[in-house]
Amino acid sequence: MESRKYIMSIKPIFGEQILEGVKGYELRRRGRVAPGSIVVLYESSPVKAVVGDFRVGRTFYASFEELARRIRRGELRGCGEEDIPYIKGSGRVLVMEVLDPFRYPRAVSLAELRIAIPGFRPPLSYARFDRYYHLVRSLAESF
């Protein structure tokens, strides 16, 4: 069975940290993503483009308090004080291990995405993307 695909909106600074192998965990305030899934990274403004993807390793849920402690103790590689405001106020936070980050040969802009996928709107957090994954990968690999 082929792994599930998701598209995730992310601030450019965090997207770059993932693609450079600095950020080893991604935090989300809600939802469920299975280990082995592929997450396509859509960097929000000012980039506004799909730039790469990663495979999800282990996942777990934790309270804000527990995660804040683990972040401050350096237990979540690449997560720091800048992540805490994002998860503050969340009851249960999804933690995804980042494996095999891959930067696409070229970014696929929001304008290109909207031509290839009529009505496309970047998700507020993340959304299933199975139907469009191969299309976007082929766009990213074309020159």
* Chain center to CA of 21: 13
The pTM assigned to this predicted structure is 0.94
The CA distances from residue 128 to 3, 8, 137, in Å, are 11, 9, 15
| pLDDT for 1 | 62
Q: What is the CATH number of domain 5-140?
A: 2.30.130.30
- Backbone φ and ψ of 17, nearest 5°: -60, -40
In angstroms, the CA 111 to CA 83 distance is 29
Q: What is the pLDDT of residues 51-80, one digit of tens each?
A: 999 999 999 999 999 999 999 999 999 999
In angstroms, the CA 56 to CA 97 distance is 6
* pLDDT, mean of residues 10-39: 96
Q: What is the pLDDT of residues 119-139, one digit of tens each?
A: 999 999 999 999 999 999 999
